[in-house]
Amino acid sequence: MKKNIRILYSDIDGTLLNNHHHICPKTKEKILELDKKGIPFILVSARMPDGVMVIQKELGNNRPVICYSGGLILDENQKILYSRQMELSLAVKVASDLENNFPNICCNSYGNDLWVVKDDTNPWVIREEGITKGKSIKGTITEAFAKAGGVHKFLLMGRPDDSSDAEVFLKKNYPQLSILRSNEYYLEVMDGTVNKAAGVRYLCGYYGIPLEEAAAFGDGENDLGMLQAVGYGYAMGNSPEQVKKQAPYITLSNEKEGILKVISEID
């Protein structure tokens, strides 16, 4: 069955990376072996480009990447293939509503290579910088993204109950947006047309490979659409139960090299 797999898509955090935020050596070796055989391994992440490229550098391949959960796709030379942003006026309104109604939520704004925060000393921001190896800048949405005319993503960080309340509020008041959890603390907010499945569809078209011959790996709610869109969608063993229940297949956890288990069976 798995001999029909011609392209691989993978989430980064909690999926390709272990709990120490690194790629296991045997997994890396097999990915590069398959890459040389013409089976691309595509990183698909809610991260900004810099945060994805640092992982691609560790991996050692040279393929397109899907950033901002499908909001921005870069080719092998880091040139933009596809971009979909939330309009600036809408982004400003959303940010204002969040600040007024959810003061305990840390709101991060992203667009292309910019990561903008109100307070760069916030513990949530410092933690995320440590994980992604990226660097935020202190500023306002209006000034930072005026030239671009929009933002690719808001990342809302907070305690699970605060994040849940913000999720309910946003879904009620902004039905035109894509609002998904990447984990119990993080909420991703983007243009309503943006999702990982759309990014996967775009790149399958780019390579001329049917979705039925693609495999994907992920561990979060925001991965489900991607897992369900391809022929072989695998939830990691460390995924929440609701993700595993809705995924077509389940593999081992990120700590037990769940990706390696699957791709080792590809000829």
- Write the burial class of residue 243 (CB in 10 Å: 0-12 exposed, 13-18 middle, 19+ buried): buried
The pLDDT tens digits along the chain (267 residues) read 446 899 999 999 999 999 999 999 999 999 999 999 999 999 999 999 999 999 999 999 999 999 999 999 999 999 999 999 999 999 999 999 999 999 999 999 999 999 999 999 999 999 999 988 889 999 999 999 999 999 999 999 999 999 999 999 999 999 999 998 888 899 999 999 999 999 999 999 999 999 999 999 999 999 999 999 999 999 999 999 999 999 999 999 999 999 999 999 997
262: β partners:
none
In this structure, are residues 237 and 263 in contact, taking their beta carbons and an 8 Å threshold?
A: no
Question: 34 and 125, same structural domain?
Answer: no
- Domain region containing 258: 2-83+195-263
Question: 200 and 68, same structural domain?
Answer: yes
Question: 256 and 212, same structural domain?
Answer: yes
Residue at a domain's end among 191, 216, 236 = 191
Residue at a domain's end among 135, 166, 191 = 191
Rounded CA Rg of the chain: 18
Residue at a domain's end among 156, 191, 226 = 191
Question: 142 and 71, same structural domain?
Answer: no
Question: 259 and 211, same structural domain?
Answer: yes
Question: 132 and 222, same structural domain?
Answer: no
Where in the sequence numbering do the catalytic residues fall? 11
pLDDT at 1: 43
Q: What is the pTM of this model?
A: 0.90
- Write the burial class of residue 130 (CB in 10 Å: 0-12 exposed, 13-18 middle, 19+ buried): exposed
Question: 180 and 217, same structural domain?
Answer: no
Q: How many domains does the chain have?
A: 2
pLDDT at 3: 62
Question: 90 and 79, same structural domain?
Answer: no
Question: 99 and 186, same structural domain?
Answer: yes
Give the burial string for 39-62 (b: 16+ CB within 10 Å, else e): bbbbbbbbbbbebbbebbeebebe
In this structure, are residues 157 and 106 in contact, taking their beta carbons and an 8 Å threshold?
A: yes
Question: 146 and 68, same structural domain?
Answer: no
Question: 111 and 187, same structural domain?
Answer: yes
CA dihedral sign, ordered 124, 130, 132, 137 = positive
Query: Which DSSP string corresponds to the chain?
Result: -GGG--EEEE-IIIIIB-TTS-B-HHHHHHHHHHHHTT--EEEE-SS-HHHHHHHHHHHT----EEEGGGTEEE-TTS-EEEE--EEHHHHHHHHHHHHHH-TTSEEEEEETTEEEES-TT-HHHHHHHHHH----EE--HHHHTTTTTEESEEEEE--HHHHHHHHHHHHHH-TTEEEEESSSSEEEEEETT--HHHHHHHHHHHHT--GGGEEEEE-SGGGHHHHHHSSEEEE-TTS-HHHHHHSSEE---TTTTHHHHHHTT--
In this structure, are residues 39 and 4 in contact, taking their beta carbons and an 8 Å threshold?
A: no
CATH classification of the domain holding 37: 3.40.50.1000
